[in-house]
């Protein structure tokens, strides 16, 4: 005799990058197991892969081709509807960098924020400007973006250049070779290169500020939470 099938509820979210509405369901026990195993492994790639799998199952989207901040936002929303909107975190008090304080955070209060001075158009000279794409999860996975890996930073920069405008002439990414892009980035002066870095530093992020009071000193401080890892228990 066939057992009854359980229907998961459907919810809707809006992608921060495009404003597109996306339907999703909560993750199931089989997906929660996958996430728990990945967290216990403490392996960054395994955790990322498990998030991609859960998002794909719950939305039908290919998370690897979405901007990283979209992926983080979607996962947070799925998590909220799956195990509850309240996240319990232990934060370190900034005044002594030692004392930890437990807090409860409502996922619904967390949002993707964009810096006021952020733009995806970078003016290099009077004639030449760049139009940038946001790095996808695939880009971040393929190229390790850390201060210790400048080669990874350069490759992501090249990957995210979508158009190069030279006056009225437009060069599209599909028409550029990797060698051409590499030579172009290498030809930038320091000020121009810093303009590209500013695009990444100011791009949309999951960001939330909370106040914590150190029970030992009585000092109240603000703690900035950024990125998916800051909101995981």
Pick from 103, 50, 118: nearest CA to 209 = 103
Determine the distance from the C-alpha atom of residue 146 to the mean position of all C-alpha atoms in its chain, rounded to a whole number.
Answer: 15
Are residue 129 and residue 198 in the same domain, yes or no?
Answer: yes
**Beta bridge mates, 51:** none
Number of domains within the chain:
2
The verdict on residue 217 lying in a domain is no
Query: d(Cα 168, Cα 128) in Å, to the nearest integer?
Result: 10
With a cut of 70, say whether residue 232 has pLDDT above it: no
The verdict on residue 106 lying in a domain is no
Strand 11-14 to 21-24 pairing: antiparallel
The verdict on residue 63 lying in a domain is yes
Pick from 43, 107, 62, 92: nearest CA to 221 = 92
Are residue 77 and residue 126 in the same domain, yes or no?
Answer: no
83 CB-near residues (< 8 Å, 6+ apart): 32
Task: Using DSSP, state whether 165 is helix, strand or coil.
Answer: strand
Task: Using DSSP, state whether 18 is helix, strand or coil.
Answer: coil
**Averaged over 185-212, what is the pLDDT?**
91
Are residue 68 and residue 125 in the same domain, yes or no?
Answer: no
**Averaged over 61-71, what is the pLDDT?**
91
Are residue 79 and residue 126 in the same domain, yes or no?
Answer: no
Element (H, E) at 44: helix 44-59
**Beta bridge mates, 89:** 103
Structural domain for 125, as ranges:
121-202
The verdict on residue 46 lying in a domain is yes
The verdict on residue 62 lying in a domain is yes
The verdict on residue 113 lying in a domain is no
Tell me the per-residue pLDDT of 122-174, one tens digit each, with 9 for 90 and over. 999 999 999 999 998 888 766 565 545 567 678 888 899 999 999 999 999 99
Query: d(Cα 20, Cα 15) in Å, to the nearest integer?
Result: 5
Model pTM? 0.84
DSSP letter at 101 equals: E
Query: d(Cα 106, Cα 82) in Å, to the nearest integer?
Result: 14
The verdict on residue 214 lying in a domain is no
The verdict on residue 224 lying in a domain is no
Are residue 134 and residue 181 in the same domain, yes or no?
Answer: yes
DSSP letter at 8 equals: P
**Averaged over 204-230, what is the pLDDT?**
90
């Amino acid at each position: 005799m066939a057992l009854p099938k359980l229907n998961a509820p459907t919810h809707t979210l809006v992608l921060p990058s495009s404003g597109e509405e996306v339907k999703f369901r909560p993750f199931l026990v089989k997906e929660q197991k996958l996430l728990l195993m990945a967290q216990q492994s403490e392996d960054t790639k395994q955790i990322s892969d498990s998030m991609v799998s859960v998002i794909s199952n719950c939305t039908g989207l290919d998370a690897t081709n979405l901007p990283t901040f979209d992926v983080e936002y979607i996962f947070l929303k799925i998590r909220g509807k799956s195990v509850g909107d309240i996240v319990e975190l232990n934060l370190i008090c900034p005044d002594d960098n030692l004392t930890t304080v437990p807090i409860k955070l409502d996922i619904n209060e967390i949002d993707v924020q964009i810096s006021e001075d952020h733009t995806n158009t970078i003016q290099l000279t009077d004639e030449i400007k760049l139009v940038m794409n946001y790095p996808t999860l695939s880009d971040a996975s393929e190229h390790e973006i850390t201060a210790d890996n400048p080669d990874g930073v350069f490759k992501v920069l090249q990957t995210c250049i979508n158009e190069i405008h030279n006056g009225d002439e437009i060069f599209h990414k599909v028409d550029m070779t990797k060698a051409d892009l590499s030579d172009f980035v290498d030809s930038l002066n320091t000020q121009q290169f810093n303009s590209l870095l500013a695009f990444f530093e100011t791009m949309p992020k999951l960001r939330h500020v909370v106040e914590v009071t150190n029970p030992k000193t009585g000092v109240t401080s603000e703690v900035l939470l950024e990125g998916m890892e800051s909101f995981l228990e």
